[in-house]
């Protein structure tokens, strides 16, 4: 038995090397000054208007996207899990496609479909309808669920199939309408899974920037984009980027912690 403890060693080493070390180097860089330590970058990160706005935008954006993904994902997962086996298998492999696509490919797909001269807007124009602006906040909100809903649904479908169907039926046989069965039995029973899936989506959304960058450039003020611009653009300032990254990670961490606390209430 004691010997088994060493089995976690490779994993631990891996974490230290690929997670601990980068984390440490970011922290160190954000604090380092020629003459010791400085908190100036954090002061800037937490006071400069542009950064505060980015922070706020990122949080709201990630939260709303997560909510959309959870709601949409639940619906899609429930709908899919009730389909005949063959259709279900096909759909599930279809859901895996957006998850595995690069953000750039998705962005260009959306530009072709929904961009200024995209298929949909040409159709809208012909019908005399107002044009849909993909490069606005609502536009961005439309794009991310494209990944997140299938991702979330894929995570939830197995759970729904194993416990969900039986619980729904037990609730219905107890006299519950489908709505009552959903709200009083299925949702609470799935809550741990929902919160775990939500955590993944939330963390991903806090850091997402590839697709946003491809669609709107730097026009939308998000923390991830601020960091990217400090790392890759003429405004190059690695230590400041490191400070912002720390703020971003801390915010994500707090968000995940709250979700984990919430999840524990359901697991008891």
Partner 1 sequence: MVDLIGVRKRYGRVVAVDGVSLSVREGEFFTLLGPSGCGKTTTLRLVAGFETPDQGEVRISGQGVNRLPPEGRPIGMVFQNYALFPNMTVFGNVAFPLRLRRLPERVVRRKVGELLEMVHLQGLEGRYPRELSGGQQQRVALARALAREPKVLLLDEPLSALDAKIREELRGELKRLQRETGLTALYVTHDQEEALALSDRIAVMRDGKVEQLGTPQEIYERPSTLFVARFVGIGTLVPGEAREGRFHRDRPWPVQVEGEGRGFILLRPEQLRPHPEGFLEGQVGLATYLGSLLRLEVETEGILLKVDLNPQEEVRAGDRLRLALPEAAPFIKEEA
Residues interacting with partner 1, by CB under 8 A?
Answer: 84, 163, 166-167, 169-178, 180, 184-185, 188-189, 191, 266, 268
Report in angstroms how near the CB of residue 146 gets to partner 1 at its nearest.
Answer: 32
First to last CA, the chain: 28
Report in angstroms how near the CB of residue 182 gets to partner 1 at its nearest.
Answer: 13
Among candidate residues 21, 25, 56, the one with its CA nearest the CA of residue 241: 25
Report in angstroms how near the CB of residue 214 gets to partner 1 at its nearest.
Answer: 42
Q: Rank residues 120 and 167 by Cβ distance to partner 1 and give the closer one.
A: 167
For residue 190, how many C-alpha atoms fall within 13 Å in the half-sphere facing its CB? 33
Euclidean distance between CA atoms 207 and 219, whole angstroms: 17
Q: Rank residues 5 and 267 by Cβ distance to partner 1 and give the closer one.
A: 267
Q: Rank residues 54 and 195 by Cβ distance to partner 1 and give the closer one.
A: 195
Report in angstroms how near the CB of residue 257 gets to partner 1 at its nearest.
Answer: 22
Q: What angle do CA 193, 201, 89 make, to 5 degrees?
A: 65
DSSP line for 104-146: HHHHHHHHHHHSTTSHHHHHHHHTTPPPP-TTSHHHHHHHTHH
Q: Rank residues 101 and 189 by Cβ distance to partner 1 and give the closer one.
A: 189
């Amino acid at each position: 038995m004691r010997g088994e403890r060493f089995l976690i060693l490779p994993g631990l080493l891996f974490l230290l090397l690929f997670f601990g070390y980068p984390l440490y180097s970011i922290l160190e860089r954000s604090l380092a000054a020629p003459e010791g330590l400085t908190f100036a970058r954090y002061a800037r990160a937490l006071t400069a208007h542009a950064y505060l706005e980015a922070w706020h935008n990122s949080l709201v954006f990630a939260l709303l996207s997560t909510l959309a993904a959870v709601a949409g994902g639940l619906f899609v997962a429930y709908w899919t899990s009730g389909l005949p086996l063959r259709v279900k298998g096909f759909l599930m492999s279809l859901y895996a496609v957006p998850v595995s696509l690069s953000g750039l490919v998705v962005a260009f797909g959306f530009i072709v479909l929904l961009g200024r001269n995209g298929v949909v807007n040409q159709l809208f124009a012909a019908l005399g309808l107002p044009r849909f602006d993909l490069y606005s906040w609502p536009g961005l909100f439309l794009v991310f669920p494209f990944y997140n809903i299938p991702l979330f649904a894929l995570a939830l479908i197995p759970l729904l199939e194993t416990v969900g169907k039986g619980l729904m039926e037990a609730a219905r046989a107890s006299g519950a309408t489908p709505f009552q069965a959903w709200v009083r039995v299925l949702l609470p029973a799935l809550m741990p899974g929902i919160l775990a899936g939500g955590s993944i989506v939330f963390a991903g959304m806090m850091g997402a920037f590839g697709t946003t960058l491809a669609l709107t450039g730097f026009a939308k003020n998000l923390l991830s984009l601020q960091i990217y611009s400090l790392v890759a653009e003429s405004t190059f300032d690695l230590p400041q980027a490191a400070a912002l990254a720390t703020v971003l990670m801390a915010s994500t961490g707090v968000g995940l912690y709250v979700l984990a606390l919430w999840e524990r209430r359901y697991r008891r």
